[in-house]
Amino acid sequence: MTDAVLLAVDVNGRATVTLNRPDVHNAFDDALIAHLTETFEALGQRADVRAVVLAANGKSFSAGADLGWMRRMANYSEAENRADAGQLARLIHVLDSLPKPTVARVQGAAIGGGVGLVAACDVAIASEAASFALSEVRLGLIPAVISPYVIGAIGPRQARRYMLTAERFDAAEAKRIGLVHDTVPAANLDSVIDTVVAALLLGGPEAVRESKALARDVGGSPDEETRTDTARRIARLRASPEGKEGVSSFLEKRRPRWQEP
């Protein structure tokens, strides 16, 4: 555990995992992915934990990939990119399959992989000030490893629009398409989260765990083959000329070549 990920567990069995990199809008890098994965895996084994809230400090929930991480990835081979993408795929899978109910507390912008975290939680409550985007195509990339969870939340039709256009949409639209369950004024966010967690704690722990498994098994969650395939797809795009140009242009704060007249 590092200061980039904070953990608190109260006497009622509520664990709060907080992304704590507000200076970079809680963007992912390989270290944060590893810490989050370890944290969720440990919480899954704790008998004293009955519900998990995923929160974030600062203005944004998560801005997706960290710039420093993107710079390092720009020089990765396809095989290195595949291994790297596999770590993010594992994180989202661990969160999705956690044997405890999970609640996303979305207080600000969730971009790219941040949307994946929201989609992988059982319940998502957003501030009315929150915003969302699947921005990968603007970088010549695709939202590969998060796609099964995002499509599971919003359906293929809405996914086609927002994965292709990379439009930013607000909390009301996120609720309309099913990415979040409810939107509330920022001042009421914590009280609504408290109400949701209290409801989760009223259920029998085993029944809640089995109900989550039932919803995943009947509704469908990505199997290992799908997770491997999505990691392979993003690795191929990252290593492609277009992917390299998209990331380079973003880091250099210029238009990618495909946007030039």
Alpha helices in the chain (DSSP H): 30-45, 67-73, 78-96, 113-120, 147-165, 171-177, 189-202, 205-219, 224-238, 241-251
Cα separation, 75 vs 218, whole angstroms:
41
Residue given tokens 């993107």 in the structure block: 70
Higher pLDDT, 48 or 231: 48
Phi, psi at residue 214, to the nearest 5°? Answer: -60, -45
Three-class secondary structure of residue 128 per DSSP: coil
Which residue from 154, 66, 81, 80 is spatially nearest to 116, judged by alpha carbons?
154
At residue 2, the pLDDT reads 56
Q: Identify the pLDDT of residue 1.
A: 43
The mean-pLDDT minimum among 1-15, 30-44, 47-61 falls in: 1-15
Instruction: Pick the most confident of 56-60, 84-88, 142-146, 240-244.
Output: 56-60
Identify any residues that bridge with 62 across adjacent strands, giving them in sequence order. Answer: 110
Nearest to 48 by CA among 104, 9, 5, 102: 9
Identify which has the larger pLDDT, 28 or 65. 28
> In the predicted model, is pLDDT for residue 219 greater than 80?
no
pLDDT in tens, 166-202: 999 999 999 999 999 999 999 999 999 999 999 999 9
Q: Which of 56, 52, 177 is nearest to 127 (CA)?
A: 56
Residue linked to tokens 């009301």: 172
- Per-residue buried b or exposed e for 5-18, using 16+ beta carbons within 10 Å of the residue's own CB: bbeebeeebbbbbb
**How far is it, in rounded angstroms, from Cα 171 to Cα 124?**
11
Q: Which of 42, 23, 37 is nearest to 87 (CA)?
A: 37
Asked whether the beta carbons of 77 and 64 are under 8 A apart, the reply is no
Rounded to whole angstroms, how far apart are CA atoms 106 and 57? 10
Percentage of residues of the chain with pLDDT beyond 70: 98
Spatial strand order of the sheet with 131-133 comes to 110-111, 131-133, 169-170
Domains of the chain by range and CATH? 5-186 (3.90.226.10)
pLDDT digits 0-9 by tens, 83-133: 888 899 999 999 999 999 999 999 999 999 999 999 999 999 999 999 999
Instruction: State the average pLDDT for the chain.
Output: 91
Name the burial class of residue 240, with classes exposed (0-12), middle (13-18) and buried (19+) by CB atoms within 10 angstroms of its CB: middle
